[in-house]
Amino acid sequence: MKTDVIVLGAGIVGVSAALHLQARGRNVVLVDKGEPGQGTSYGNAGLIERSSVVPYAFPRSLATVLRYALNRSSDVRYDPRDLLHVAPFLFRYWRQSSPRNLAVATKAMLPLIEASVVEHDALIEAAGAGDLVRAKGWIAAYRTPKRFEAAAAEAASLSPHGLAMTVLDADGLAGLEPSIATGTKGVFGAIHWLDPKTVTDPGELTRRYAGLFAERGGTILRGEATSLAKTEPGWSVETEWGRIEAADTVVALASKAGSIFRRLGYAIPLGIKRGYHRHYRLPAGVALHHSVVDEEAGYVLAPMRQGVRLTTGIEFAQSDRPANARQIDHAERWARQLLPLGQPVEASPWLGHRPCLPDMRPVIGPAHRHKGLWFNFGHAHHGLTIGPASGRLLAELLTGAAPFVDPAPYSSSRFG
């Protein structure tokens, strides 16, 4: 079977790229080893994070680095057995997080972040997925006056970006979220970011987008991406329907993209930040109306279709290490101080892999040494947010249309 474009990987990034290529008149086959939306796109915190105008940088303050080195916080943990393995990535990440480099990354990411809600809105409407999306923003909660005041000042410094937000004292928060504890062992103050949207089932959102792609004539097949081979004039991949050939192939395999690019000679320093989630039932009379981030303990509580989803921060460990419940257990203890969570829904937590580049921006565009090969991976903490915008950019580049964003910062050639 021949097609115009093969997209490898049916997470939010691959599905969005497939939809944008299709909208530009290409026949597209979307290939995944499983169902769409079952990878990291299933388990994230569901924030379409329009207010995240500064990427997550490696901390530059010695006190914070020392705190993380103690390995007791729930926002960042590491497996001591894997420190040597992750050290080269961490070193590059630290270097790229200098104030100057962070300003470069911020400028590079801004157009994708700014387009995030608008690009999702178009797909949400076309896919009939409005029931999965809330337009109420999310709440950043602070436990101590010191952190709250610093956060309020930082939020004010972002005013040139025109973000809508409300600063809330404990009473203001209680008005919005009566079940969240305030005062001692609770929240001192909060910032309600109003531009972002939240998704109550990000895996289902990806499946609805994939359903839209199929409805519009796209083909979704089970297949193994590592079977990708060079043919004349393009590429082939083995699927449940046999071999598919296309002039162009897009690699949207997130943390598994290395299984393709390494074999082809690209030294892209893709790192992985692992993260966990678990759902909890709420006792009668307890409710959560917004996604709440406990900024000092480093986890998110998000109202989802499956229950309240508790998601953790970052765990540095080799990607194939078995899940370690320490980080989510730690976060759960903190979370129970803020909200009386009931029983967990699942017996064990879900583990996901954020695909990250040390310069805090994805690789989007042509694989610079191979004609007809395209990359779209490395969306880190914001793959749900910018999946549709990056799919649009990829499709514009592949079809030769004028890109809506300068693609240079995302080029694979930046790594040589």
Ligand X SMILES: Cc1cc2nc3c(=O)[nH]c(=O)nc-3n(C[C@H](O)[C@H](O)[C@H](O)COP(=O)(O)OP(=O)(O)OC[C@H]3O[C@@H](n4cnc5c(N)ncnc54)[C@H](O)[C@@H]3O)c2cc1C
CB of 149 to ligand X, least distance (A): 26
| Continuous segment of H or E residues that includes residue 102 | helix 99-127
Of the candidates 166, 179, 226, 319, which one interacts with ligand X according to CB under 6 A? 226
Residues 6-25 that bind ligand X (CB under 6 A): 9-14
Q: 9 or 271: whose CB is closer to ligand X?
A: 9
Is-contact 73 295, C-beta < 8 A? no
Q: 181 or 207: whose CB is closer to ligand X?
A: 207
Residues 376-415 that bind ligand X (CB under 6 A): 377, 379-385
Q: How far apart are CA 197 and CA 109, in angstroms?
A: 18
- Please tell me whether residue 41 binds ligand X under the rule CB under 6 A: yes
Tokens at 414, concatenated: 């930046």
Residue located via tokens 């279709």: 305
**Residues touching ligand X, count (CB under 6 A):** 39
Task: Supply the angle between the helices 12-23 and 202-215 in degrees, to the nearest 10.
Answer: 30
Stretch that binds ligand X, among 35-43, 129-137, 212-220, 240-248 (CB under 6 A): 35-43
Q: 256 or 290: whose CB is closer to ligand X?
A: 256
**Chain centroid offset of residue 330 CA:** 22
* Beta strands in 189-241, from DSSP E residues, in sequence order: 189-193, 197-199, 219-222, 229-230, 235-239
Cα angle 218, 219, 225; round to 5: 125
CB of 171 to ligand X, least distance (A): 28
Q: How far apart are CA 81 and CA 60, in angstroms?
A: 24
Of the candidates 224, 243, 368, 414, which one interacts with ligand X according to CB under 6 A? 224
Distance (Å) of CA 394 to CA 117, 322, 400: 18, 34, 10
- Please tell me whether residue 197 binds ligand X under the rule CB under 6 A: no
Is-contact 49 116, C-beta < 8 A? yes
Site string for ligand X, 263-302 (x = CB under 6 A): ------------x-x-------------------------
Site string for ligand X, 337-376 (x = CB under 6 A): ---------------x-x----------------------
Tell me phi and psi for residue 39, to 5 degrees.
Answer: -85, -140
Of the candidates 27, 38, 324, 337, which one interacts with ligand X according to CB under 6 A? 38
> What is the spatial order of strands in the sheet that 133-134 belongs to?
47-48, 197-199, 133-134
- Please tell me whether residue 74 binds ligand X under the rule CB under 6 A: no
Q: 222 or 336: whose CB is closer to ligand X?
A: 222
Stretch that binds ligand X, among 5-13, 77-85, 90-98, 142-150 (CB under 6 A): 5-13
Is-contact 11 39, C-beta < 8 A? yes
Site string for ligand X, 230-259 (x = CB under 6 A): ----------------------xxx-x--x
Residues that bind ligand X (CB under 6 A): 9-14, 32-34, 38-41, 44-47, 49, 224-226, 252-254, 256, 259, 275, 277, 311, 352, 354, 377, 379-385
